[in-house]
Amino acid sequence: MTAELEAPTTFTQPLMGAFVPTGFWSDLAAFKELEGTVGGEFDIGHWYTSWSHDYDPIPVNDLLQHGRIPLVSWQSQVPSVADIAAGLHDDYVRQWARQAAQAPGVLYVRPFPEMNGDWAPWYGDPENLKLAWRRLVTLFREEGASNVKWVFSPNVTDEPRTEVNRMENYYPGTEYVDVLALDGYNWGSTRPYIGWQSFDQVFAGGYERITALGPQPVWIPEVASTEHGGDKAAWITDMLSSTTFDRLEAIVWFNEDKETDWRIESSHASAEAFRQWFEWREWQEAPGGAAAAPQLAGAPVTR
């Protein structure tokens, strides 16, 4: 193990998921290849789709049939949130909802992710975004898509950090949100003005704010660390052993070489940190396994 797991408390271990850039549109091959690298099965499969595409049952059904939880980020590069709020795309939304209602299980949908970040096309119009969000949920309910759960997922920091752009201003209300969520990354020396931050440091401020919005569980649908500026393997071990965020229900790794190499397999040590955690989890989940589990010092005690 590159770094030891720390300070145990009674804690519910979050579900673990991953995004793979090839997606799930035809099969789970890339996802399963990553699972082979880490030596365990992810609980959640995450992918992205846009409003230029109809609902696609293949990734949803494949993940559910393989015992995984599907999480899709639904991004509206076009149309605008104002047009969605005005009902100009209700037919498309209703069609999407009717098809989603036929899924053989629960589907988590994350509309307008990172809406408080100025890189997102749907950024900067909190009033219309809230109206658009409520309209989506209402139309889905009218179409009987009660199996769809809604994930509100701002960036962990407001960019720009202005009063009007606060994540709280985009929140559509507790009755329209099933999961509160945050995206955050350890940029290390790739962004010197941010620098190397631990998992807890990345999310502490955002977690305090997001949990003040409602009582829902918290997910992290996007997280990863660079190799530059510190020890990525140790960072991963700290993330997987953190017990700081008591409402944290799921962590989903962003496994792509993009702004930097975020991938689990960016180094042998990084992949090994995940592999040893999955080995530890397998022992924990086996009948009577906790007593015989590999000794990872300070591993969190699950309840």
- Domains of the chain (ranges, CATH numbers): 10-302 (3.20.20.80)
For the chain, the average pLDDT equals 93
For residue 173, the one-letter residue type is G
What per-residue confidence (pLDDT) applies to 289? 58
Q: What per-residue confidence (pLDDT) applies to 284?
A: 85
Token output for 95: 């069609």
Q: What is the DSSP letter of 90?
A: H
End-to-end Cα distance, the chain = 24
Please tell me the least confidently modeled range out of 8-17, 87-96, 167-176.
8-17
With cut-offs at 50, 70 and 90, classify the pLDDT of residue 12: confident
C-beta of residue 119 within 8 angstroms of C-beta of residue 148: no
**What is the C-alpha separation between 253 and 223, in angstroms, rounded?**
5
- At 287 the pLDDT is 79
For residue 299, what pLDDT is reported? Answer: 52
Type of residue numbered 77: Q
List helix spans (H) across the chain. Answer: 29-38, 57-65, 81-85, 90-100, 126-142, 199-211, 232-241, 268-285, 289-292
Confirm if 114 and 154 have CB atoms less than 8 A apart: yes
Residue 23 backbone class (left: φ over 0; alpha: ψ -120 to 50; beta: rest): left
Task: Outline where 160-262 has alpha helix (H).
Answer: 199-211, 232-241
Is the pLDDT higher at 146 or at 6? 146
Report which DSSP code applies to 286.
S
Give the CA distances from residue 119 to residues 115, 151, 201, 242, in Å, rounded to whole numbers and listed in that order. 9, 19, 23, 30
pLDDT of 295 higher than 80 = no
- In tens, the pLDDT along 76-89 reads 999 999 999 999 99
List phi, psi (to 5°) of 6. -110, 165
- Does the pLDDT at position 230 exceed 80? yes
Confidence of residue 290 (pLDDT cuts 50, 70, 90): low
According to the model, what pLDDT value does residue 294 have? Answer: 54
pLDDT(251) > 80: yes
Name the phi and psi angles at 223, rounded to 5.
-155, 150
Q: Residue 1 has what pLDDT? A: 33
- Segment 11-21 mean pLDDT: 91
Across the range 63-78, mean pLDDT stands at: 97
Q: What is the per-residue pLDDT for 297?
A: 41
C-alpha separations of 38 from 8, 164, 204 in Å: 23, 42, 27
Mean pLDDT over 84-107 rounds to 98
What is the H or E stretch that residue 151 is in? strand 148-152
In this structure, what token pair is assigned to residue 281? 């989890």
Residues of the chain above pLDDT 70, percent:
91
Give yes or no for residue 9 having a pLDDT over 80.
no
pLDDT above 50: residue 29: yes
Radius of gyration of the chain (CA): 19
